[in-house]
Amino acid sequence: MKYLATLALVLLMSLGAVAQEESAVELKNQGNEALRAKNYKGALELFEKSIAAWGEEEMDAAMVYNTATSARKIKNYEKAQKYYQDSKSLGYKADVSTYYIASSLKSMGKNEEMEKVLLAGVEEFGTSKYVGHMKKMLAGYYVKESNALYTEGQEILNSRVDGNRDQWDAIKAKAKIVLDEATNIAKKALEYDAANKNAQAILTGIENFLKS
């Protein structure tokens, strides 16, 4: 009798594991349906429940990617970053996942982290069609940084007061340090996007300022 009771317990545990697996798969399928219907909030909730119920089986990498996409669509960038990172770790659409990791970081204002992700992505995925998007995002970031310094340099130069000519050399020297940094960053932007008109305009503006 003890043997039969043990056998029944093992069978119940096995059936429970199968039911759990079926539940996770069913949740995933419902999530896919919600995603196709553009119910991104619902899809995210279903995918996360599926992930939580998945058990020890190898994770469905495509579902993790879809979880990230669902989060991105509803602008939950923290979760989007997390799940795109998981997708990349699982080797699923690693280039696209890297781009969206950077995009999520940008949306959260984590620009330094974004820059690191993009620089690594450009090196790692040099042949991917998404590397062009990564380079443009990098260039846009550098243009923004360069423009801020360009504005700061202008403000320093414009701080000169008539009649204080003895301070002019010091003001120009201080402005030049800032404008030189702006120049270097604008040139970095052009390294990743040679046709970037904003970077070109900044360089032209700095050159004219330094000549005046």
Question: CA Rg, the chain, in Å?
Answer: 27
Q: Is 109 helix (H, G, I), strand (E, B) or coil?
A: coil
For residue 195, the model assigns a pLDDT of 95
pLDDT score of 189:
98
Report residue 18 as tokens: 């199968």
**Which residues, including other chains, have CB under 8 Å from residue 23's CB and lie 6 or more apart?**
53
What is the C-alpha to C-alpha distance for residues 16 and 57, in angstroms, rounded to an integer?
Answer: 15
Q: Which two tokens stand for residue 11?
A: 């069978």
CATH 1.25.40.10 fits 2-119, yes or no: yes
SS3 call for 110: coil
- Chain segment 48-94, per-residue pLDDT in tens: 999 999 988 899 999 999 999 999 999 999 999 999 999 999 999 99
pTM (2 decimals)? Answer: 0.84
2 residue type, one letter: K
Give the number of other Cβ atoms within 10 Å of residue 168's Cβ: 12
